[in-house]
Amino acid sequence: MALWIVATVAAAAVQTVRFMLQKRLKGLGLSTGGATFSRFLFAVPLAGAGVCAMILARGHALPPLGLAFWGFAIAGGIGQIVATFCTVALFSERSFAVGIAFTKTETVQVALFSAVFLAEAVSGMGIVAILIGLAGVLLLSRPPDGWRSGRIFNRATVLGLLAGAFFGLSAIGYRGATLAIANDDPLFRAVLALACVTAFQTVAMVLWLRWREPGEVGRVLRAWRATLPVGVTGVLGSLGWFTAFALQNAAYVRSVGQVELIFSILVSVFVFGERPKPREVAGMALLAASIALIVLIA
């Protein structure tokens, strides 16, 4: 089995655990921003240690990091922060499995963006795939009281679609960042890009929280026993994603990463005791089918 596939499946599994831990942080009194910040804070020293270990073990020298690298890295880093923020907020609206499923609209959105902004033709099968995905999203986004309120685009729908869009942006940014590093070792490129992106994200989140939520950084630090596992699983999951992006096209990586849907359903049922409704299971199945079809015809 190709290394990028192993790295992607491992990253999806660890990311599911990280989201599970972040959902529990909301029960500790941390804000959505605090729960998101915990994802990055403790990852910085771990990622930095990884770069040092690679330099010592493999004799790599630090390559120059140009504007192209930092452009991709910052765009990807901001995209991941916003996407994580939306996903954590989404957990307060819907169940864990449905929340993760919403973020998987990312592949469908990329197809739509390509048609609108890049004038790339969408085949007949591509239109079918998009319509199947739309049906899945509508099933997932149906509020508990049904559509009587007339609000198809409710808060959960908007958060989920935004999360998917920004996760797509982060994937493209991280793929570009790893390719912009002048080194033949994909693992070293992955670790170095991860360390730089995580450092930027931590600084950005500290500045944001000090401006918008004074005292939240201190609350995250005081809850370190609960937030540390989030940081550890976060950096391990990101290492898997970055390694896969360094080896393979981001579209293929994200398509294999849809296995996270299965992991999230297992967590939702066996950890949180959240029994998905038949309608929600059908919605996730339609969404997964849409993504698989787009990957096959891409």
- DSSP readout, 257-269? GGGHHHHHHHHHH
Within 61-185, where are the H helices? 67-90, 96-103, 106-117, 124-141, 155-179
Contact 29, 162 (CB under 8 A): no
Q: Structure pTM? A: 0.77
Report the C-alpha gap between 46 and 262 in whole angstroms: 28
Contact 240, 8 (CB under 8 A): yes
Q: Which pLDDT does position 152 carry in this prediction?
A: 53
Number of neighbours of residue 188 by Cβ within 10 angstroms: 22
Number of neighbours of residue 284 by Cβ within 10 angstroms: 24
Report the C-alpha gap between 293 and 97 in whole angstroms: 21
- Per-residue pLDDT tens digits of the chain, which is 298 residues long: 678 888 988 998 998 888 777 767 766 778 878 877 887 777 888 889 999 999 998 888 889 999 999 999 999 999 988 987 888 787 776 665 666 667 767 777 666 665 665 455 567 776 787 778 777 766 766 655 554 544 555 677 788 888 888 988 888 888 889 989 999 899 999 999 999 999 999 999 999 999 999 999 998 888 888 888 888 898 899 899 999 989 987 777 777 777 777 777 777 777 767 777 787 788 778 877 877 776 676 5
Count the alpha carbons within 13 Å of 103 in the hemisphere toward its beta carbon. Answer: 36
Report the C-alpha gap between 91 and 112 in whole angstroms: 26
Report the C-alpha gap between 52 and 288 in whole angstroms: 39
The 3-state DSSP class for residue 91 equals coil
Q: Which pLDDT does position 209 carry in this prediction?
A: 92
Contact 97, 221 (CB under 8 A): no
Give residue for tokens 């005081």: 222
Q: In this structure, which long-range contacts are made by residues 280-285, counting pairs with CB atoms below 8 Å and at least 24 apart in sequence?
A: 280/95, 280/97, 280/98, 280/101, 280/139, 280/140, 282/136, 282/139, 283/98, 283/101, 283/135, 283/136, 283/137, 283/138, 283/139, 283/140, 284/97, 284/98, 284/101, 284/136, 284/140, 285/136
How far, CA to CA in Å, does 107 sit from each of 82, 177, 184, 265? 17, 20, 29, 19
Give residue for tokens 């770069």: 51
Most distant CA atoms of the chain, gap in Å = 64
Report the C-alpha gap between 253 and 95 in whole angstroms: 25
Local structure of residue 62 (DSSP, 8 states): P
Q: Which pLDDT does position 70 carry in this prediction?
A: 96
Q: Which pLDDT does position 118 carry in this prediction?
A: 44
